[in-house]
Amino acid sequence: MKFEHKVYSALCSMKAFVINGIHADESDFGEKYDRDPENAKDYACGNMQFTRVDAKPEVLAKYGIDEKEYSEVCDVLESDLSFGFCGWCD
C-alpha cells in the first residue's frame, strides 16, 4: 500500500490523504466529531476524536487495500485526528 497522510498544522482535517494514488475520504474509515461540545467555548472543541468503523468490502476495493492495511490507515487517523480539547477556532 502506498499511503500519504498529513494533517494541517492547526486544523482538524487532513491536508494530504492519499491511498494507492486515490484521494481518500476519512469518512470511509470512521467518524470524527467533538465528544464533549457542551464543555467547549464557542467555535472550539471539548474533545475531538476519530473513531474507526468496520471495514466494508466496497471501501477495501475502492482503495485496493486489505483489512490489515485498512486497520493501519485507521490507526493513523485515530492518532492524527484525536486530540481532545482545541481552541484554535475560538
Question: What is the number of structural domains in the chain?
Answer: 1
Whether 60 shows a pLDDT value over 80: the answer reads: yes
Predicted confidence at residue 5, as pLDDT, reads 93
Span 27-46, average pLDDT: 88
Higher pLDDT, 66 or 12: 66
pTM recorded for the entire structure: 0.87
Higher pLDDT, 82 or 59: 59
| Strands of the sheet with 45-52, listed across from one edge | 30-34, 45-52, 84-86
At 8, the pLDDT band (50, 70, 90 cuts) reads: confident
> Structural domain of residue 76, as residue ranges?
3-86
Q: List, as own/partner pairs, every contact residues 17-22 make where C-beta atoms lie below 8 angstroms and the sequence separation is at least 24, other chains included.
A: 19/63, 19/64, 19/65, 19/73, 20/63, 20/64, 20/65, 22/62, 22/63, 22/64
Predicted confidence at residue 13, as pLDDT, reads 83
